[in-house]
Structure 1
Amino acid sequence: MKNLSLSLLAALSILASCNNDENSNTEPEVVVNENPGTFKEIGSITIGGEAAAEISAYCEKTKRLFTVNNSGVNQIDVIDISDPTKPLKIGKIDLVSYEGAANSVSVFDGKLAVALESTVNKQGNGKVVIFNTSDYSLIKQVTVGALPDMITFSPDGKFIMTANEGEPNADYTQDPNGTISIIETSSYNVTTLDFTSFAGQAAALVKDGFRISKFAKTSFAQDIEPEYITISDDSKTAWVTLQENNGVAKVDLTSKTITAIYPLGLKDYNTTENAIDVSDSDSKIAFNPWKVKGLYMPDAISHFTLNNTPYFVTANEGDAREYTAYTDVKRMKNMTLDATAFPDAATLKLDTNLGRLNLVADLGDTDGDGDLDQMVSFGGRSFSIWNGNTGKIVFDSKNDVDKKTNELGTYDDKRSDDKGSEPEAVVAAKMGSQNILFVGLERSDAFMVYDATNPTSPQYLQTVKTGDAPEGILFIPASKSPTKRSLLVVSSEGDGSVKIYQPDLK
């Protein structure tokens, strides 16, 4: 009976996949009785060295992956995964002639969209170039904002969005506004939004935990750096991480306006459940409470909906600004601590304690007298779930990320003084009736799996080893998969590997 049931399920899966568009979260779910806590590697391919496999997108029509390759080349590598146990590189799309380098890719209905930062002038406008996934022919290229760092199709395919980071050059003589571009796929008309209209709210935002650098040469709109986008299932709302600013922007796709900025506030590491390992010079991994705060500073973002309430999920990596004209990171031992707030300053400054910890250099002097009244570090060393309507935190994984990777044996103690495991990627996916989260850890070379069916209390399922420095995580649901089984694709920029994982059946 078991084999007959599985055959029937497979047949239903095939029928369902023939009637659904790619990248749509609103399609009927194919019911495959899989155990989301049992993902195992089933296939792997290495396409180059460092920076060879940053982000991948999947085309259901051709059963191909399209993977960014910046390892001494400027191209998209094409990988056939019709048999995911034997991925095979079958071609490439050369990007040199487009005067841009790829940062991100996305696929919908046989079209590949590539986000290109300018190779002529990094602070100049970027491009989105759209190709046919079957023969790699050019469909269209359009202009977007400066340094498009991430690209995605909306679930209904009507929009392409880019998060345009707009980083400055080394001496800050050029600092473009951070922007968000919205492309209508019916006409390829582009609307690019900046944050100028929110400048009057700067003080209130900062008070609630938004971060604006104190560098005098930059304006509010220039300081904003959009990083990553997720779009609601109905394709009407987007949430965009503003990583260096410790915030998330909400975008109305119907009116093409930014409707809100959510400050994410500070995380308190002076609690047992948030205890962290802060030294790379103590020859041990020890999780202890410290009188330190953390800016969440998320990189990737994903979303899910439960009982008509939207939630967005963030991977709280953290990121410093390090330029010739302005650097916002400084070792704790090189900073002056307020004697009242930190009477044990001399002990705290030892390298085996907090001395090596990287702090945000221009935060923490709350009374303006030139010393630190609180210590603020980079990143949350966690993933978090937030209410998509209010921006209020619903759940944080506390110190689970670093503790679980330490148990796996992949935690890198040499990153303890910086941002720990550096959660970089996150994907929310539906598996049966469960909302499953996959969290990629750049410095611990692993991904974690959680069941977030209850958003206030996600359940840990497993931690899985990946390639070196996983950058992108791609979930392929059973309805689109070549095997009619759920697949997880992890692209790792440290070693240029693309690995494919599949769960067991229950």
Structure 2
Amino acid sequence: MNSKLNKKLLALAISGALLTACGSDDNDDDDVPPKNNPVTTPESPAPGTTPPATPLPEQASGEITEIGRYSSGIYDDGGAEIVAFDASSDKLFVVNSGDSTIDVLDLTDPANPQKLTTIDVTAASVSGFTAGGANSIAINNGKLAVAVENDDKQANGQVYFYNTDSLAFEGAAAAGALPDMVTFTPNGEYVLSANEGEPNDEYDNDPEGSVTIIKVSDMSVRTAGFSAFNQNIQSLKEAGVRITGPAGTTVAQDVEPEYITIDRDNSTAYVALQENNALAVVNIADATVTDILPLGYKDHSLAGNGLDANKNDKAANIETLPIFGMYQPDAIASFMADDGKTYIVTANEGDGREYISEDFADEAACTAAGGLDFDDGECLMYIDETDLEDLPLDAAAFTPAQITKLTDGDGIGGLTVTNTNGDTDNDGKFEAIYAYGSRSFSIWDENAKLVFDSGDQFEQKVKEVAPDNFNASNDKNKIDNRSDNKGPEPEGVALIKLGSKVFAYIGLERQGGIMVYDITDPAQASFVQYTSNRDFTVDPEEIEDNDALDSGAAGDLGPEGMLTISAADSPNGKPLLVVGNEVSGTTTIYEIQ
């Protein structure tokens, strides 16, 4: 064991009692997801050494400052998605879907990350398996775990393992259909994979969602499935779990595990079921799903919970409306607060379902297969989204003035809402309106009871910082472009503990930028900073049309994967935040104050 690794393991042992699943170090339980000749500058530590961790001020601010950036040169094709860091070698691993590889970067100098090589997951030989690409990565104790989907997305995937030093392939373990997120338990004993089990485009092959649990020491596999809940479909719906697939869809088929976070004692995994607006609870020792917990809905009619739902007025107009938001988190994280309890932090992106097949020759064939609509060679097989103006509202639940406003196609009527929730008496008219996502981040207790929600602060802060580009998309510089959908669209989250404080970093997938919150007291979380390096003077569409422009010419677009690195593990001795940006194809390093 080299002296650098000895030092870092000692630091981890000392701080282990303080840190929980905060996205720092290599525990990877809240996000997440290489070097031949190390690059050294006069300011960089020599290879194989690390500077001492910079002492933290008594009251760390948690604010971030960009210090380094790597551009893959791939625009709008997943050039930088999920990130994972190996503290023993100072290598940063980045999922590059555009090239179907994992880029390996040298992070010895965080201000100047350099690409060393790539890992081609399709080159690994696994009997009877054809790799379709990497979706997620995580690192612990020199092992890189990679969630690899099958070339046939409805067939079972694999979790590949590589040595982070030599990059050698060390083996694979079977996973469920479409393994989309992978993480280690904090002690490194197990790897868990969230297997989405998405249906095919025709929606006639819908594999079950599941969680794979792999024992790292012997690669043995167990599966935590959801079939035990099939008989409870009605009670789950009544409790608020969204089960919205076509008739005959079981609970196990309908759930789509998206993201996993694991508690500090390595015993319980919390799994985001995004489309279902719920969290699943998994007992790791028994490999069983013990509960499915509905997250409820956000009331946008309450003060402080407003939203801008109108893209046509070309203005930042945040207002309260008689609409509910489905939290539907993407990335989740967890930490132990001073009260000794575990809390789950969620980035409430929102997600609908739409399946379109191109396998039908004409409208007659589409209709015969159960299709809903046929247009230009595309057969719409299933959709749970609609425009608010097309949703028939119950006059007994809304005033005439409200109905007029809500169904105005030139105004709020363009908001994307669901057609599967809200008709409480099944008379074809909707008594309640449900939109996708909540344009916020939330903190929940272990029973999925809401402890804190950021309300409309994300949109309010964006309005302050970028009023002329409010709710822009990540590929268009147009004000209000995403107001009728999911707004700034929070997607990624990473946590870190600095001294006695815990901070959360939330990435805004569409608007761009990072929100920073002090969550030390979960019930009293407070805004710290919103920062974005997006350059609105550069049109993203010009980057797509001009190969001479660097993919990151407009700044970071589409933040996706995020992780924090503790001062003890950091190459420069200072805590860091690393963000993979899927649209701009850039990987950005921030120093945390």
The normalised TM-score by structure 2 is 0.80
Map of 2:196 onto structure 1: 165
1:334 alignment partner AA: D
Checking the alignment, whether the CA contact within 8 Å between 1:206 and 1:263 is kept in structure 2 is no
| Pairwise CA distance, 1:37 | 3.6
Structure 2 match to 1:136: 167
Query: Secondary structure, in 3 states, of the residue corresponding to 1:421?
Result: coil
Q: What SS does the corresponding residue of 1:143 show, helix, strand or coil?
A: strand
Query: 1:118 aligned to 2:150?
Result: yes
The answer as to 2:132 corresponding to 1:107 is no
Which of residues 527, 533, 546 is equivalent to 1:460?
A: 527
2:360 matched to 1:337? no
- 1:256: Cα distance to partner? 1.7
1:346 positional shift:
3.0
Matched, 1:349 2:407: yes
8 Å CA contact 1:26, 1:233 repeated in 2: no
Report Cα offsets for 1:447-500 as digits up to 9, x if no partner. 111111111010111011151000011100111100111000010001100000
Distance 1:269-1:472 versus aligned 2 partners, 3 A rule:
same
- Report the alpha carbon displacement of residue 340 of structure 1 after superposing the two structures with TM: 1.9
1:84 alignment partner, one of 110, 122, 135? 110
* Alignment match, 1:427: 494
Letter in 1 for 2:353: R
How far the C-alpha of 1:134 sits from its partner, in A, is 1.1
Which residue pairs with 1:32 in the alignment?
Answer: 56
State the alpha-carbon separation in 2 of the partners of residues 292 and 164 from structure 1.
31
**What's the counterpart of residue 44 of structure 1?**
69
Per-residue deviation, 1:237:
1.1
Q: Write the mapping of 1:244-255 to structure 2, written as runs, cut at 5 A.
A: 244-255=275-286
1:470 is aligned to 559
Confirm or deny: 8 A CA contact 2:5 2:88 kept in the other structure. no
Q: State the match for 1:9 in structure 2.
A: none
Tell me whether 1:264 sits opposite 2:295 in the alignment.
yes
Instruction: Give the 5 Å matches for 1:333-482.
Output: 333-342=389-398, 343-344=400-401, 345-388=403-446, 390-409=447-466, 411=470, 412=472, 413-466=480-533, 467-482=556-571
Figure out how many residues of one structure are paired with residues of the other and give that number.
488
- Can you give the 5+ residue segments of structure 1 that lack an aligned partner in the other structure? 1-12
Q: 1:17 aligns with which of 8, 13, 26?
A: 8
Q: Deviations over 1:295-351 (max 9, x none)?
A: 110101101112221111111100010103110000011121112222232332113
* Corresponding residue to 1:67 among 94, 97, 103: 94
Equivalent residue, structure 1, for 2:576 = 487
Question: Helix, strand or coil for the counterpart of 2:85?
Answer: strand
CA 1:321–1:397 in 2, change beyond 3 Å: closer, same or farther? same
Q: Answer 1 or 2: which has greater strand percent.
A: 1
- CA positional deviation for 1:17: 2.1
Matched, 1:498 2:587: yes
Kindly indicate whether residue 292 of structure 2 is the aligned counterpart of residue 273 of structure 1: no
Cα separation, 2, equivalents of 1:166 and 1:36: 41
How far residue 25 of structure 1 moved from its aligned partner, in angstroms, is 5.5
Inter-CA distance 76–303: structure 2 relative to 1 (3 Å threshold): same
The answer to whether residue 253 in structure 2 is matched with residue 228 in structure 1 is: no
Identity of aligned residues (%): 40
- The answer (yes or no) to whether the contact 2:564–2:577 under 8 Å persists in 1 is yes
- Matches of 2:501 and 2:168, distance apart in 1: 39
Aligned-partner residue type, residue 578 of structure 2: V
Q: Which amino acid aligns with 2:101?
A: Q
Superposed CA offset, 1:50-107 (max 9, x none): 2010001000011011100011x21100000100000000100012234231110001
What secondary structure, in the 3-state scheme, does the structure 2 residue paired with 1:203 have? Answer: helix
Counterpart Cα distance in 2 of 1:14 and 1:170 = 48
Aligned to 1:194: 225
Q: Determine the C-alpha separation between the residues in 1 that align with 2:203 and 2:491.
A: 27
Query: SS in structure 2 opposite 1:405?
Result: helix
Within 2, Cα distance between the matches of 1:268 and 1:314? Answer: 17
Q: Which moved more, 1:28-37 or 1:456-465?
A: 28-37
Give the CA RMSD over aligned residues.
1.8
Q: Does 271-280 or 339-348 show the bigger shift?
A: 339-348
Partners of 1:477 and 1:326 lie apart in 2 by 45
